[in-house]
A and B are shown apart, each in its own frame.
Chain A
Amino acid sequence: MEKEIRLQKIGRRKSLRQRAKESKKWQKITTVVYPLIFGAVLVGLWQGQILHRWFHTDTFTLPLLNKIGEIMRDNMDKILENTGATVSVAVIGLVIGSLLGYLVAVLAALFPKIGMGGPAVLGAFASVPVVAIAPVLNNWTKDLSDEASIRSMISKIIVVTLICAADMGLNAYRGLTEIKPFSEDLMAIYAAPKRTTLWKLRLPNSLPYVFTALKVSVPASIMTAIVSEYFAEYITGVGRQIRENIVLAQYATAWAYIATACLIGIAAYVILMAFQSILLRRYS
């Protein structure tokens, strides 16, 4: 009698776990729950100063979260102003850069003989480090405007543009050219002109690749905007605030801006994901 009960118990436990593993609902829940648990543990370790013990640091260089939150709340206006400066540079650069990159990719796909070099040139630009190109562009754009705020913004936008254009150009080119052979043959059989092949086959085929590019270039545009602020003539932006405050040993304030930079990145990624799920619905 006893034996039977025990067996039953074991059996039931196993099946529960098994069932959980197989249920799609559970899987969906875990994709949300596990990161949340990870986040909660991290917050606990941070606020409980256990992280500080592990990394042999103090609450001065790694301020507690409530302190960072306090500073963010106290300086909301200033933070929003700097966020605006950074985001506008990142977004404008991202849009111009992505359009430019896509255009180059289309040209390269349409006229492979002439245009092949386009993505390669863009790739070469992208491999120039931001810290090298930002000060150079800062000097080149000095004559563009009498207003330091405007010429600084232009120089930062150009840096972001170059980085994003390369990303988009290389990825979109793959999307425009790596087409399933049968579909290309089919278009040939229909005697479709180049333009039609482009509109009906190549452009739709490149859409997932565009999002692959954006997944990289959206965070990269923010990062590039932040780094190029270091060298800009006009003092503004989240990146510049991080630098100023660290040099002045104002770590808590610097962390408030680091947190701001993270939030900008996360927000941008969420927006991108929302766009993707709408636009790519028919692909999945």
Chain B
Amino acid sequence: MKKRMRKIASVLVMATMAMRLLAGCGKEAEATSTTVPEAAEATEEMAESEAPAELSSEDVIKAAADAGKVGNWGLGNEYEILALLAKYELPTDYLSQDFTMDGFDDDSITLASAMTYNELGLVKNDYDGGYGYGDSVKYVDMNDEGVAMMEDNIFCTKTFAKENPETVAAFLYASLKGWEYAKDHPEEAAEICYEYGSSVSPEHQAYMATEVAKLVSTDTKGEAATEIGYMDDEAMQQTLDIAKKYVKLDDSGANDTFQSMSLDDIRDKSFYEAAKASEGTFDVEKKSVAIQLKWLPQAQFMGYYVALDKGYYTEAGFENVDIVSGGGDIAETTAVNNGTVDFGVTWETNLACADASGMDLVEIAQIYQRSGLVLVYKPENFGN
């Protein structure tokens, strides 16, 4: 009897200990979270005393950088942010943002990186997975700030391009046709993407498709870009110039190569021109190819899904085209370079860095004509 009582008592003690442990976590968070608004108020006051009325982007960037609350994902997505911070002579430190906007939501990051077609939509909209801020949030656009860098492109290895010129031209021809169609019919493109194993909800997919269509058909200056996939020398040179200024590779050999790199080392226009000039029939050398995406399957890559769904690849002479999704720590440059896949989607800077350290990659088309990166903020965090 006594033994049983002791057993019961010990179970009770254990249970209360566990409860207290769990409850303690919550309490702690509550207790400390009360200090956060105060801190926010303090920065508000600071910001207010500096600029009473409408804040310019410059003020916002400076205030956020001073507070150390600028966020980015890093992993090769950070160069435009570094360039922007350096432009205003601010320290180029940033917080590591995870792949949600929770940090922006709880104000631990007050100036958060977002792609217009993805995170910005999640912040603004209130569909599944959204944060529902609506138009109350504002953002700093990299294109307006003059630090736009070229993002999603198509690339392959120089060796592959040399050995399979028809394959490359055919793949470009069909992909560009897919992009052309997707740009004109974003809603249908979004549905197609959703069917091909989407990582996000159909509503977000539709939002993304409309935003991506804008990036594909507008250049960095906000003017209409006529040709999809066109490699604009000026925009690409601006990207490379900014990259050379702010990308520091620890490998001194690679860094020297990178600094002496010119556009001709990282892009080849001949395949794009061949695809443009073609009637649509190719003598494809490799009938089964794969393309490695930079991220999860979503409308960011709608052109390829549309081309696959509409049979454009088959028409161009392919038997099989695999669209391999990326995400997280997938290095698309490595996948293409070691031959796991034939084509890939990456950003110009990533390609240039990879080539500088010894890879054999070449860009064959520039899909996005302007930067899709913005820094989103809540005006109330900056005093209005």
Contacts and interface: CB of A to CB of B under 8 A. Distances in A.
Interface of A: 58-61, 70-71, 74-75, 78, 113-114, 116-117, 121, 135, 138-140, 142-144, 146-148, 231-235, 240, 243-253, 256
Interface SS of B by simple majority:
helix
Given A59-B358, A143-B33, 20 more contacts: A71-B251, A71-B252, A74-B250, A74-B252, A78-B250, A113-B7, A114-B13, A114-B14, A116-B10, A117-B10, A138-B98, A142-B103, A142-B108, A146-B39, A148-B68, A148-B108, A247-B76, A248-B350, A249-B331, A249-B337
B75 A243 contact: yes
21 contacts: A58-B338, A61-B338, A71-B250, A78-B250, A116-B10, A117-B10, A121-B18, A143-B32, A143-B35, A147-B68, A148-B95, A148-B108, A243-B329, A244-B74, A246-B331, A247-B329, A248-B76, A248-B354, A249-B337, A253-B250, A253-B251
B357 A252 contact: yes
B76 A60 contact: no
Contacts of B108: 142, 148, 233
A264 to B, nearest CB: 18
Please list the 6 inter-chain residue pairs (A to B) with the smallest Cβ-Cβ separation, ordered nearest first. Answer: A249-B354, A143-B32, A253-B250, A247-B75, A114-B10, A249-B333
B96 interface: yes
B74 A140 contact: no
Interface string B33-51: 1011001000000000000
A233 B96 contact: yes
Interface of B: 6-7, 9-10, 13-14, 18, 25, 29, 32-33, 35-36, 39, 68, 74-76, 93-96, 98, 102-103, 106, 108, 249-252, 254, 329, 331, 333-334, 337-338, 350, 353-354, 357-359
Contacts of B252: 70-71, 74
Contacts of A253: 249-251
A113 B252 CA distance: 63
A144 B251 contact: no
A230 to B, nearest CB: 9
A260 to B, nearest CB: 12
A74 B248 CA distance: 13
* Residue in A114, A244, A249 with the greatest tally of chain B CB atoms within 10 Å: A249
Nearest to A58: B338
Most buried by B among A58, A71, A143, A244: A143
Nearest to A72: B250
Contacts of A71: 250-252
Nearest to B328: A247
A157 to B, nearest CB: 16
A223 to B, nearest CB: 17
A154 B354 CA distance: 34
B251 A248 contact: no
A10 B297 CA distance: 73
Nearest to A111: B10
Contacts of B329: 243, 246-247
Nearest to B359: A249
A76 to B, nearest CB: 11
Given A243-B75, A249-B350, A235 B96 contact: yes
A142 B98 CA distance: 13
